[in-house]
Copies of this chain bind each other. A is one copy, B any other.
Amino acid sequence: MSLPSAFDPGVTAVLSALDLKAVKHVFFVACGGSLSIMHPAKFLFDQHASLPSDVYNAAEFVARAPRSLDRNSLVVLCSMTGTTRETTAAAEFSRSKGAMTIGLTMEPASPLARAVDHVVGFEAPYTTGVAIDARNSNYSRIYQIVMGLVSLTGGEDLTESLIESLFALQPAIDGAQAAFAPMFEDYAPRLAKKDVIYTVASGANYGAAYSFAICVLMEMQWINSQAIHANEFFHGPFEVVDKDRAFILMKGLDSTRPLEERADEFLHRFGSAENILVLDAEKLDLSGIDPRFRGNVVPLIFFDTLWRFAYKIADLRQHEMLEARRYMKKIAY
């Protein structure tokens, strides 16, 4: 069993070097925006692998110190710059327990890269809004790691189909931006005035909703938010719905879509359509993407295109997207 030649050489090298037969548990560990890609990674892993896995914030992971973390564990970490201290500490902690470690980072000379056994590079995270070939993003690389692991540990080999789907991603993203542009133009002036904007999603999309809530709305725009799970919505959060309340709802194509559809129906019944921005993946042209992976790549498309919406809101609020931090990397904390 070998990986497709089109796979990222870094991913192939790492998976070839590891003693995969020894892996009994996978931990996906990071912080903030990098943590957000671990949720869809686990979703993909849960549906294709029999191995158990966990997703943890890096500081929580070290302090919690799961008893099952040992030399039969594979810990996959991610930090864009490789300088996130908690994530580097988590890599060191994992190695001290004998675990195998993979670090995803853009900086091969960074502290995270030095702290792990194996480095997988990527060109840019989907979280900067920087236009890159989507198959070189952190999302793309971690999906290759996940499906490579599945294939090389005796699961179904869908690696050829995955890599073909990732190659078809950039046109799908470009198409989505064209398809959603008029809606963004329409909604931006209203949502730019809101003090609270919730995001709602489930399944493969939850990480993108989380990242948009905490890294874009809260961090870059100082807008109050929460990423509400589409079914948890009905067990408390939905009581804040009224005609003025703003929501961004993701309707994806994975097996949890009915949860998002139910939230959509409720929101349009008791909220106001003009304050509910719905990204519906059924409206996208996903040519070349295997139906088995459409649900998994949709959040990447959603998040990429949502950057356009975020910049529109920032312009209207006269609140610079990437410069306007009060605290992050501006002070010591």
Contact = CB atoms under 8 A, between A and B. Distances in A.
Nearest to A43: B64
Given A47-B67, A59-B231, A236 B219 contact: yes
A219 B237 contact: yes
A259 interface: yes
Contact of A327 (B59, B64, B238): B238
Given A33-B236, A214-B232, A232-B35, A67 B48 contact: yes
Interface stretch (A164-172, A184-192, A220-228, A281-289): A220-228
B65 A255 contact: yes
A294 interface: no
A50 interface: yes
A63 B327 contact: no
B226 A226 contact: yes
Contacts of A46: 64, 66-68
A295 B196 CA distance: 33
B236 A60 contact: no
A25 B50 CA distance: 10
A49 interface: yes
A113 interface: no
A321 interface: no
Interface residues of A, number: 66
A52 B49 contact: no
A214 B237 contact: yes
B67 A239 contact: no
A273 interface: no
A256 B326 contact: no
Given A68-B52, A225-B226, A31 B202 contact: no
A245 to B, nearest CB: 9
A239 B32 CA distance: 13
B270 A327 contact: yes
Contacts of A232: 31-32, 35, 57, 214
A21 interface: no
Interface of A: 25, 31-33, 35, 43, 46-54, 57-60, 63-68, 84, 86, 195-196, 202-203, 213-215, 218-220, 222-226, 229, 231-232, 234-241, 255-256, 258-259, 262, 266, 269-270, 325-328, 333
7 contacts: A35-B232, A35-B235, A59-B231, A60-B202, A60-B256, A63-B258, A86-B231
**5 nearest A-B pairs in the assembled complex, by CB-CB distance:** A32-B235, A52-B52, A226-B226, A214-B236, A59-B231
